Chain A
Amino acid sequence: MKRFVLTRLAALVPISLIVSFFTFLLTHLLPGNPVDVICGTGCTAAGHAQLAHQMGLDRPILTQYWLYLDHVAHGNLGKSYLDGETVAHALGQQVPATLELVLASQILAVLVALPLAIFSALRPGARFDRVSAQVSYGFFSLPAMVLGVFLVEVFAIKIHGFPATGYTALTANPIQNLHDMVLPVITFGVGSVAIYYRILRSDLVATFQEDYITMARAKGLPTRYIVLRHGLRPSLLNFVTLAAQSIGFQLSGAFIIEFLFQIPGLAYGMINAIGSSDYLRVQGTVLVITISFVVLNLAADVLNAFLDPRIRRQGAAA
C-alpha cells in the first residue's frame, strides 16, 4: 500500500512539471501579448522594450520557465498589473467560496444519487428504473445556466425566498452564507446527480449479477445487508475514479454558477481577470485549478487502492 502511494506520488512530479510548463507557455507563445496590454495604447517602442525587459520576457524561454518555476515554488504567482495585488493572495481569497460550492453540491449529489441508483439497480428494467433513466438523461442534458436561471426566476424573483446573487463568507455570517448558497448548490448538485446516478446504476447492475451476490442471497441474507456489505463496495471503486474524472467536465458548471450567482470564487475571479486581460491572474488560476484536478485524480486512485486490494498489489508490482 505504502509503495503504491509512493509510486503514484512520484508520478505527480513529471505531470506537475509538464502542466506548469504548458501554463507558462500560455502567456508566451499565443498571439495575445501581455506587454501590449499592460503598456496600453500610447505605447512607444522603447517603453515596450523596457517593459518586456522588466517582465523578463527578453530572456531565453527556458530561463524564463526556470524563473517562473522558482517563483511558483516559493508561492509567488506574480502580481496583478491592475492593482498590484499578488495573484497568490487573490486566489487565497477565492478558494473558500469555490470549495464550499463544490463540496456542498457534491455531497448533496451523492446523497441523492446513491439511493436512486440502488433502487434502480435492484430491479433493472422495472418502471422506476426506466423512468429515472429518462429523467436522468433530461438533467444530464440540462445546462447549468438553464436550471440556474429557472431557479432564480422562481425562488428569487417570484417568491423572494432566496437571494438571486450575492455571497457572504461562511466565517462572517454562517446563516446568511447558507441562505446565499442554497440556489447555487442545488443548481450545481442537480447536474452532478444525473452523472453520479448513471455511473452508480450501471455499475451496481453489473455487481448484482456476480456469483457472490447470488451466493449471499442463497444464504438468506437480508437484501439491505447484501446491498450495503457486498454490492456497494465494489461499485464504489469505479464511482470514485469516474467521479474524480467527471469533475473536469463538471467544472464548466462551476464557471456558469459562479458567474450567474456572482460568487467570488476561483471561476468568477478568472472570468473577471479575463475581462480585464489580467494575464498573470488567469495563468495562476489555470495552474491552481489544474494541479488541484491532478491531485484529486491521484487521491481517487489511492482511495481506490484502499478499497480494492487487487489494485494495491498490481500497483506495487508495477
Chain B
Amino acid sequence: MMLIRRGRGSGVAAPSGKKLGWSFWLCIGWLTVVILGAIFANLLPLPDPTAALGAPQNLGPSIHHLLGTDKIGQDVLSQIVFGSRVSLAVGFGATAIGLVIGGGLGLVSGFVGGWIDAFLNSVSLIFLSFPGIILAIALVTFAGHKLGVIVVALGIVATPLVFRLVRTSAQSFAQREFVAAARALGASGIRIVFREILPNVATTLVAYLFMAVGIMIFVEAALSFIGVSVPPPTPTWGVSIDQAVSDLQSNSILWIWPSLALFFTILSLNVAGDAIRKFFGVKESFL
C-alpha cells in the first residue's frame, strides 16, 4: 500500500520554485469578475437587457447607462453582463461534456489498449474528419437553436479532442515504472487508472481545459454572430457584435464593448492555461 502511494507522487512534475506570475492572476481576476457577473446578473443594479425601457437611443456612456444604449434604447452594459451567461454556459458546459466522455474514454483507451483502443481511436478519427464548426452548425441547424443543443453540439466537437489528448498522455504514463510497480503489487486495473494514471494525466489536462473553454466560447460567439445560436431576445456577445455592426454608421463605438468582453475572456483563458502548462512543465503541443 505504501509503495503504491509513494509511486503516485513520483510521476507528478514538482512545481517547486516556479511562480504563476502576475499576468496569470490578472487573468483569473478578470474571469472571476465575468463569472460572478453572470451568476449574480439579476441582483446587479442593471436594467433589463431586453427591455427598451423608453431610454433614449444611441446614448453615450452616462451614470444611468455606464456604457450607453443601443439603437433601440437597450442598456449596453446589461446586454454584455447577461450575454456572458450564454458564453460561459457553452464554454464550460461543452468542455465538461468533452472532459467526462472524451477524458473517461481516453483514460480507458490509453490504459487498456488492444481492440478497445483501436475501435475508440477510429471513432475519434471519424469525428475529427468533420471540421468542428461544420459539425456544430449542422447539429444546431437540424436539432434546433436551443442552449442545450448548442452545449451538446460543441461538447461533441470537444470530445474527440480531449479523448486524443488524454489517450496519448495515459499511454505514456501506463508504461512508467510506478505503474509496473503497482501492477506487481497486485493493484486492480481500476485502482491503477484512478490512483496512478489519472492524477498524472490531470496536470496535462488542466492546462488544456482552460484553452478548450476559450475555444468553445470563441466558437459560440462565431455561431451567434452568424445567427446559428440561441434565438433572440436572449443577449449573447456574438449577437451584440452583429447588431452593432449593422448600425456601424450611426454608432461607431457600440461594437467595441462586447468585442472587448469577448477578447479579454478568451485571452484570459489562453494566458491562464499557458501559465498553468508552464507551471506543471507540460510540453507544448497543438491539439
Contact = CB atoms under 8 A, between A and B. Distances in A.
Interface in B232-271: 238, 241-242, 244-245, 248-249, 252, 255, 259, 262-263, 266-267, 270-271
B226 interface: yes
A146 interface: yes
Contacts of A157: 248-249, 252
B222 A26 contact: no
B148 to A, nearest CB: 12
Interface stretch (B13-21, B103-111, B125-133, B190-198): B125-133
B227 interface: yes
A256 interface: yes
Interface in A239-272: 242, 245-249, 251-253, 255-256, 259-260, 270-271
Contact of A290 (B134, B263, B274): B134
Nearest to A252: B133
A274 B215 contact: no
B266 A286 contact: no
17 contacts: A18-B126, A143-B221, A143-B266, A145-B242, A150-B259, A152-B245, A153-B255, A157-B248, A245-B286, A248-B132, A256-B225, A256-B226, A279-B142, A282-B141, A282-B142, A289-B134, A293-B130
Given A149-B245, A248-B128, A252-B222, 7 more contacts: A19-B129, A30-B139, A145-B221, A145-B241, A150-B259, A157-B248, A282-B142
B133 A30 contact: no
B179 interface: no
B222 A255 contact: yes
B218 A251 contact: no
6 cross-chain pairs, A with B, having the tightest CB-CB distances, nearest first: A30-B142, A248-B131, A141-B267, A252-B133, A146-B259, A141-B266
Contacts of A293: 129-131, 134
A255 B222 CA distance: 8
B225 A137 contact: no
Nearest to A11: B125
B120 to A, nearest CB: 15
Nearest to A255: B226
A174 interface: no
B155 interface: no
A312 interface: no
The A interface, classified by DSSP as helix, strand, loop or mixed, is helix
Contacts of A198: 286
Interface of B: 126, 128-134, 137-139, 141-144, 214-215, 218-219, 221-222, 225-228, 238, 241-242, 244-245, 248-249, 252, 255, 259, 262-263, 266-267, 270-271, 274, 284, 286
A39 to B, nearest CB: 17
Contact of A255 (B133, B270, B284): B133
Nearest to B264: A141
Contacts of A260: 225, 245
Contact of B132 (A22, A146, A199, A252): A252
Interface centre among A143, A164, A255 (most CB of B within 10 A): A143
Interface of A: 15, 18-19, 22-23, 26-27, 30-32, 137-138, 140-146, 149-150, 152-153, 157, 164, 195, 198-199, 202, 242, 245-249, 251-253, 255-256, 259-260, 270-271, 274-275, 279, 282, 286, 289-290, 293-294, 297
Contacts of B226: 255-256, 259, 271
B129 A290 contact: yes
Give the interface SS of chain B, mostly helix, strand, loop or mixed. Answer: helix
A264 B12 CA distance: 52
Contact of B141 (A138, A142, A274): A274
Of A27, A146, A199, chain B has the most CB atoms within 10 Å of the CB of A146
Nearest to B285: A202
Contact of B219 (A252, A274, A290): A252
Q: In the complex, which of the residues B142, B238, B248, B252 has the most CB atoms of chain A within 10 Å of its own CB atom?
A: B142
Given A27-B142, A152-B248, A22 B130 contact: yes
Contact of A286 (B138, B255, B262, B271): B138
B137 A270 contact: yes
Nearest to A253: B222
A143 B265 CA distance: 11
B244 to A, nearest CB: 8
B141 A149 contact: no
Contacts of A152: 245, 248
A149 B255 contact: yes
A151 to B, nearest CB: 12
Contacts of A297: 129
B215 A256 contact: no
Contacts of A294: 129
A116 B241 CA distance: 32
Given A26-B138, A143-B263, A256-B225, A149 B248 contact: yes
Contact of A137 (B252, B267, B286): B267
A32 B141 contact: yes
Contacts of A199: 286
Contacts of A30: 139, 142-143
Contact of B130 (A19, A27, A247): A19
A146 B259 CA distance: 6
Contacts of A26: 138, 142
Given A153-B248, A242-B286, A143 B130 contact: no
Given A31-B142, A31-B143, A146 B263 contact: yes
